[in-house]
Structure 1
Amino acid sequence: MAMDAGTLESMIKDAFPDARVSIDDMVGDGNHYAANIVAEAFRGKTRVQQHQMVYAALKGKMGGDLHALALQTRAPE
C-alpha cells in the first residue's frame, strides 16, 4: 500500500499548521519520501524529538502505508 505526497503533507500540516513542508517522492513509488519540515514546534527539541513528533503526526502510517521517510527538521531561523 502507498501514500501520496499530498496526504503525507496534509498529515504533517495538521500537526504543525505553521510549518513549511516540502515533500520529495524519492523513487516515484509512493513509498519512499524525503521531507523537509521547518516548524516553530521544533524549537528547543533535539533532532530525535523532532522526528518523533513527525512520526506521531503520521498516526501509525509509518511502516504500513509509508515505507521510508528521510526527514530534515528544524525550527525557523
Structure 2
Amino acid sequence: MAMKAADIERMIREALPDAKVEIRDLAGDGDHYAATVISPAFKGLPKVKQHQMVYAALRGNMGGALHALALTTAAE
C-alpha cells in the first residue's frame, strides 16, 4: 500500500516540529517521493545523521509502504 504525501509530511513534522518540509511525488504512483527537510535541529550534524532523523520520523515505513524517498536535508 502506498503512502500519501500528506502522511509523510505529517510524520516528519511530528518528529521535527520546527522543520520546513516539502514533499513531491516523483512518479505519480504514491511510491516514489522526494523530500526536502530544513530544520534548525540539523545544525552541526552530518548529512548521515540528518537523514537518519528523517527516516526515524517515518517509523519504519521506508522500504514498505514508502518504496523510495530522495531526501535532501539542511540546517536552517
TM above 0.5, yes or no, is yes
Q: Alignment length, in residue pairs?
A: 76
Which residue pairs with 1:12 in the alignment? Answer: 12
Which residue pairs with 2:53 in the alignment? Answer: 53
TM-score for the superposition, normalised by structure 2: 0.98
1:21-65 deviations in Å (ceiling 9; x for gaps): 000000001110000010011111100100011000000000000
Which 4+ stretches in 1 moved above 6 angstroms? none
Percent pairwise identity:
61
Q: Which runs of 5+ in 2 are unaligned?
A: none
Following TM superposition, by how much is the alpha carbon of 1:2 offset from its aligned partner in structure 2, in angstroms?
A: 0.2
**What does residue range 1-77 of structure 1 map to in structure 2 within 5 Å?**
1-76=1-76
TM-score for the superposition, normalised by structure 1: 0.97
